Amino acid sequence: MRMAEAPKGAAERLAYLLPFIASGPARFGLGDLAERAGLPQSSVHRLLKVMLRFGLVERGTGQSYRPGRELQRMASQIVSRFDLVRSARPMLQQLVDSWQETAVLCTYSPVSRKAIIADVVHTPHPLRYAVERDGEITLPWGSLGRAVLAYLPRGEQEAIIRQSNAGPLTGRPRSKRAELDAALESIRAEGVSRYYDPQIDIAGIAGPIFGPEGEILGCVGVTMPSRRYQLHLADDLASAVGKVARDLTELASMQGA
Amino acid sequence: MRMAEAPKGAAERLAYLLPFIASGPARFGLGDLAERAGLPQSSVHRLLKVMLRFGLVERGTGQSYRPGRELQRMASQIVSRFDLVRSARPMLQQLVDSWQETAVLCTYSPVSRKAIIADVVHTPHPLRYAVERDGEITLPWGSLGRAVLAYLPRGEQEAIIRQSNAGPLTGRPRSKRAELDAALESIRAEGVSRYYDPQIDIAGIAGPIFGPEGEILGCVGVTMPSRRYQLHLADDLASAVGKVARDLTELASMQGA
DNA sequence: GAGAGAATTCCGCAATCTGGAAATGTGCTT
DNA sequence: AAGCACATTTCCAGATTGCGGAATTCTCTC
């Protein structure tokens, strides 16, 4: 969907294709992949031959490819050391049980410079937002995005802010830079990101999750309509969310992450 | 550890390095990786720069690299569709509860042409074999290996048998080819692999697990000292193991695997 | 602050990659 | 069965990109 992207060089292109395969359908054709990736078929075919040899893809029935068992194996191996999603599940559930609001886990994707919704436990309330797994979250908006943005290295922050200003309008004027900086600073000060915007009727609280070397992995948070936000004891909710985030950070540091 | 392996070309080398990173330590140096992979440092460095750009690796504190968040993310995504290891866990536990013998889950790695122990639940008996996660299993021996080998395409079977004959001695003469073929045939006939060798005091029963397109993913099985094997009602055990294997196959087909 | 070891850059040669187009293969329809 | 449409695979010549030993720079350690 993005344009003006066409990595040069075999290694770059292989790395570039990997996510298309990992997140693509269980069966796909050469043409599909070439189109999705925006690369010439003959080039994709050459790379696919390499991946075939290394088990990253395999041939399916008829003329089709599928993600390879070696890829599966590697994925299991990586995840088996530390599975953030699995570790977080019961905690999300716990948050929903206690507060009756939707709990979300996001992981940060350094490449797309977005946070991706890795897991959700929905509120029992009938009024709730359509938060779905694998959804993308742009970092400068909302409690979830900002909980991540606040802890990114300065340079990356800059790039993201510039990029999302240039990006498509989101229905409201971009917040002023100074305002955003202040918000990020206060997130770092409190260790929890709060967001409350009655105009678009959304509110939330989120806490950052770090890896063993202090790099930000993602965040946990709860989101709700801003009207319901007012009914909660926000500070209690914030400390509950903060605790979950810290617990996950600790887990990530202990296990290999 | 293997020699005479040095993939030519950037794409091949990138694919070649991936598993070293995925299964390597949480922190590693350029030199480490270069040595483990048997490639010149400058080449590895060039590839690492590419991976860096794609988030497959990241810089750690000081001079070190670590597996990247993009790699984690992809792994989670792949695993979230269908996690054989997670699905199998309760079934392994169940087998151990019922039979008091060590239950094992293996996944087949097409590249190394071996099965890899993905999970184990140990028997409560004090006398048990040292079966450990991530351990490698050569296919021509044992119930586990053969449960996989029996369902591999003919060509791959040939390669594996030839390769392991040429390989290091394993303490006993290689079984005759005709004998092995007969064993594999009977495994296919029964749908379960039985192995019983009083000489080295080991026995086991294993069943194959298939993916959505009929490709073999791995196997589940129980292993034990051959003396204990005689005490069990082998047919009941075999049907229990077979059921677990079929259930996992069905799960793998329903979910995206 | 000096030294050891690691990571990074350099550079000329050439092997590997590139992509349009042609050839081959596969599955579906008549 | 035969033919058709579409997807995959091969081909090719030009040149971009990869290659790796050696020199340089950087970073921890003592």
A136 located within any domain = yes
Question: Is beta strand A136-137 parallel, antiparallel or unpaired with respect to A193-197?
Answer: unpaired
3-state SS assignment for residue B196: strand
The structure tokens listed for B221 are 């099985």
Q: How far apart are CA B33 and CA B41, in angstroms?
A: 8
Q: Alpha helix locations (H) across B55-203?
A: 69-81, 84-99, 142-149, 154-166, 177-190
Is the pLDDT at B255 greater than 90? The verdict is no
pLDDT of B5:
66
Q: Which of B43, B58, B74, B132 to mutate to test the interface with A (most CBs of A within 10 A)?
A: B74
Q: Establish how many alpha carbons lie within 13 A of residue A195's alpha carbon, considering only the half-sphere containing its beta carbon.
A: 26
B134 and B170 housed in the same domain: yes
CB neighbourhood size of A2 (10 A): 6
> Other C-beta atoms within 10 Å of B112: how many?
15
Residue A144 has what pLDDT? 97
User: A17 with A112, same domain?
Assistant: no
* Residue A206 CB partners (closer than 8 Å, separation 6+): A104, A143, A144, A146, A147, A192, A193, A195, A219, A220, A221, A222, A241, A245
Residue B71 predicted with pLDDT over 50: yes
Q: What percent of chain B has pLDDT over 70?
A: 93
Co-location of B207 and B122 in the same domain: yes
pLDDT at B219 over 60: yes
> Is the residue at A104 inside a domain?
yes
- Which domain-ending residue is among A25, A52, A78? A78
pLDDT bucket at B173, cuts 50 / 70 / 90: low
Whether residue B22 and residue A256 make contact (CB cut-off 8 A), yes or no, is no
> Which pLDDT score, from 0 to 100, does residue B174 have?
58
Q: With b meaning 16 or more CB within 10 Å and e meaning fewer, what string describes A152-176? A: beeeebeebbeebeeeeeeeeebee
Backbone angles phi, psi at A160, to 5 degrees: -65, -45
State whether A133 and A197 are in the same domain: yes
Distance B39 CA to C16 C1' (A): 17
- pLDDT the model gives residue A162: 87
Sign, Cα dihedral of A77, B35, B135, B178: positive
Residues A236 and A184 in one domain: yes
Average pLDDT over residues B179-189: 95
The pLDDT score that the predictor gives to residue A166 is 60
**Shared domain check, B178 and B102:** yes
Residues with CB under 7 A from strand D: A 8-12, 29-32, 41-42, 45-46, 48-49, 59, 63-64; B 6, 8-10, 13, 39-43, 46-47, 62-63
Residue A235 is given by DSSP the state: H
B118 pLDDT more than 90: yes
A156 to chain B, any CB pair closer than 8 A? The answer is no
Domain boundary among A37, A55, A78: A78
Strand C and B253 CB separated by under 7 Å = no
Average pLDDT over residues B236-254: 95
Domain co-membership, A68 together with A121: no
Search chain A and give the residue with CA nearest B62: A213
Q: Residue B256: its pLDDT value, please?
A: 61
Q: Tens digit of pLDDT per residue, chain A (257 long)?
A: 444 467 889 999 999 999 999 999 999 999 999 999 999 999 999 999 999 999 999 998 888 999 999 999 999 999 988 899 999 999 999 999 999 999 999 999 998 999 999 999 999 988 778 889 989 999 998 999 999 999 999 889 999 998 877 655 555 555 688 999 999 999 999 999 999 988 888 999 999 999 999 999 999 999 999 888 887 788 999 999 999 999 999 999 887 65
Of A27, A46, A78, the last residue of a domain is A78
Q: Which residues pair with residue A195 across a beta bridge?
A: A204
Spell out which residues of chain B touch residue A76, defining contact as CB-CB under 8 Å: 75, 79, 83-85, 107, 118
A58/A182 same-domain check: no
Q: pLDDT band at residue B189, thresholds of 50, 70 and 90?
A: very high
Residue B56, chain A, CB below 8 Å: the answer is yes
Nucleotide nearest to B28 (CA to C1'): C6
Question: B89 with B74, same domain?
Answer: no
> B53 in a domain, yes or no?
yes
Q: Where is B109: in which H helix or E strand?
A: strand B102-109
Predicted pLDDT of residue A128: 79
B52 pLDDT more than 90: yes
Mutate to test the interface with A, among B52, B73, B213 (most CBs of A within 10 A): B73
Residue B37 near residue B44, CB atoms below 8 Å: yes
Which region among A41-50, A170-179, B162-171, B174-183 has the lowest average model confidence (pLDDT)? B162-171
Contacts 24+ apart (CB under 8 A), B157-166: B157/B184, B159/B113, B160/B113, B163/B113, B164/B138, B164/B139, B164/B140
B120 lies in the same domain as B236: yes
On whether residue B41 sits in a domain, the answer given is: yes
Cα–Cα distance for residue pair A56/A49, rounded to 1 Å:
10
B173 within domain boundaries: yes
pLDDT-based confidence at B190, cuts 50/70/90? Answer: very high
- Per-residue tokens: A243: 């605790």
**Domain carrying residue A244:** 82-255
pLDDT value at position B3? 41
Kindly state whether residues B64 and B136 are assigned to the same domain.
no
Domain assignment present for residue B4? The answer is: no
Q: What pLDDT sits at residue B2?
A: 40
B115 touches chain A (CB under 8 A): no
Same domain, A20 and A87: no
We report the CATH number of the domain holding residue A45 as 1.10.10.10
* Nearest residue of A to residue B47, measured between CA atoms: A11
Q: Is there contact between A8 and strand C, defined as CB under 7 Å from any strand atom?
A: yes
Query: What are the C-alpha distances in Å from A61 to residues A58, A72, A190, B135, B185?
Result: 10, 19, 55, 31, 24
Q: Confirm whether A5 is domain-assigned.
A: no
For residue B27, which residues of chain A lie inside 8 Å, CB to CB? 213
Beta bridge partners of B204: B195, B223
Q: Does residue A1 fall inside a structural domain?
A: no
CATH number at residue A138: 3.30.450.40
Q: How many structural domains comprise chain B?
A: 2
Percent of chain B predicted with pLDDT > 90: 70
Q: How many CB atoms lie within 10 A of CB B197?
A: 15
Average pLDDT of chain B, as a whole number? 90
One-letter identity of residue A64? S
* pLDDT for B257: 52
pLDDT at A167: 53
